[in-house]
C-alpha cells in the first residue's frame, strides 16, 4: 500500500509509492485512482504534461483561474526539483502562504496540488524531467501567475535568485495581491 502524507495545507498531500526493488531495478505504481480516493483525493485527471529543464531553471508560479482551475499531481521522473506552491484560496487559513518539497527520481515522491494553488519549481540537478497530471485542460485565456521573487511571499528557493534562469513571461507576472482570482 502506498503512503500519503498530509501537509499544513488542506488537501495538499505528499504521495510516496511502495517501491519493489531487486537486482533488475525497481517497479512501482505511480498512480492508482482507488488508492487516491481512499486517501480522500478526488481528481479525474484529463491531461498529462512533461517538461525537461536544466539546472537553475525556475518555472512558475503558474495557475489557471476559474472555471479552468487545475489540480495537479507532480513528480520528477529524472533529476531533482524544489517544488513550490502558494495557497490562493482566500477562505483558507493558509491563504498567501507557500509550501516546498524536494521531488526526485531518488525519493519518487509526488505532490498532489489541489485547485486554488499557484505552482512552480526550481531544477536542482544538472537536468530534470518533470511530469504532472492535470484534472482540467489547459486554457490559455485563464492562464495566470505570480512573481517567483515576490517579497511579500518571501519564498525560500534555496538558491541565489540572481542566478536562476526564468522566462520573460514569468518575470512579468504580478505580485501577490495583484493576481487574478482562482
Q: What is the CATH number of the domain that holds 87?
A: 2.60.120.10
Domain range for 54: 45-107+116-171
**Domains held by the chain: number:** 1
pLDDT band at 1 (very low <50, low <70, confident <90, very high): low
Residue 40 lies inside a defined structural domain of this protein? no
Residue 13 lies inside a defined structural domain of this protein? no
Cell output for 49? 504534461
Residue 164 lies inside a defined structural domain of this protein? yes
pLDDT at residue 182, as a whole number: 65
Average pLDDT over all residues of the chain: 95
User: What span, in angstroms and rounded, lies between the C-alpha atoms of 67 and 99?
Assistant: 24
Residue 91 lies inside a defined structural domain of this protein? yes
Residue 20 lies inside a defined structural domain of this protein? no
Q: Which residues are known catalytic residues?
A: 62, 132
Residues 163-172 as b/e (b if ≥16 CB within 10 A, e otherwise) read: ebebeeebee
Indicate if the pLDDT at residue 44 is higher than 90: yes
List alpha helices for the chain, DSSP H: 33-38, 168-171
Residue 22 lies inside a defined structural domain of this protein? no
Q: How far is CA 13 from the centre of its chain?
A: 11
pLDDT at residue 178, as a whole number: 78
Residue 159 lies inside a defined structural domain of this protein? yes
pLDDT at residue 5, as a whole number: 93
Amino acid at each position: 500500500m502506498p503512503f500519503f502524507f498530509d501537509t499544513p495545507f488542506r488537501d495538499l498531500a505528499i504521495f510516496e509509492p511502495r517501491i519493489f526493488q531487486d537486482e533488475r531495478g525497481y517497479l512501482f505504481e505511480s498512480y492508482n485512482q482507488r488508492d487516491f480516493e481512499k486517501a480522500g483525493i478526488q481528481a479525474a485527471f484529463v491531461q498529462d504534461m512533461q517538461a525537461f529543464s536544466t539546472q537553475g531553471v525556475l518555472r512558475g508560479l503558474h495557475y489557471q483561474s476559474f472555471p479552468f482551475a487545475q489540480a495537479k499531481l507532480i513528480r520528477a521522473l529524472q533529476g531533482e526539483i524544489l517544488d513550490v506552491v502558494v495557497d490562493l484560496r482566500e477562505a483558507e487559513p493558509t491563504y498567501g502562504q507557500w509550501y516546498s518539497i524536494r521531488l526526485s527520481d531518488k525519493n519518487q515522491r509526488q505532490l498532489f496540488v489541489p485547485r486554488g494553488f499557484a505552482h512552480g519549481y526550481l531544477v536542482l540537478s544538472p537536468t530534470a524531467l518533470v511530469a504532472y497530471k492535470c484534472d482540467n485542460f489547459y486554457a490559455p485565456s485563464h492562464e495566470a501567475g505570480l512573481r517567483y521573487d515576490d517579497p511579500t511571499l518571501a519564498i525560500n528557493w534555496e538558491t541565489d535568485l540572481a542566478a536562476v534562469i526564468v522566462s520573460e513571461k514569468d518575470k512579468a507576472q504580478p505580485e501577490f495581491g495583484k493576481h487574478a482570482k482562482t
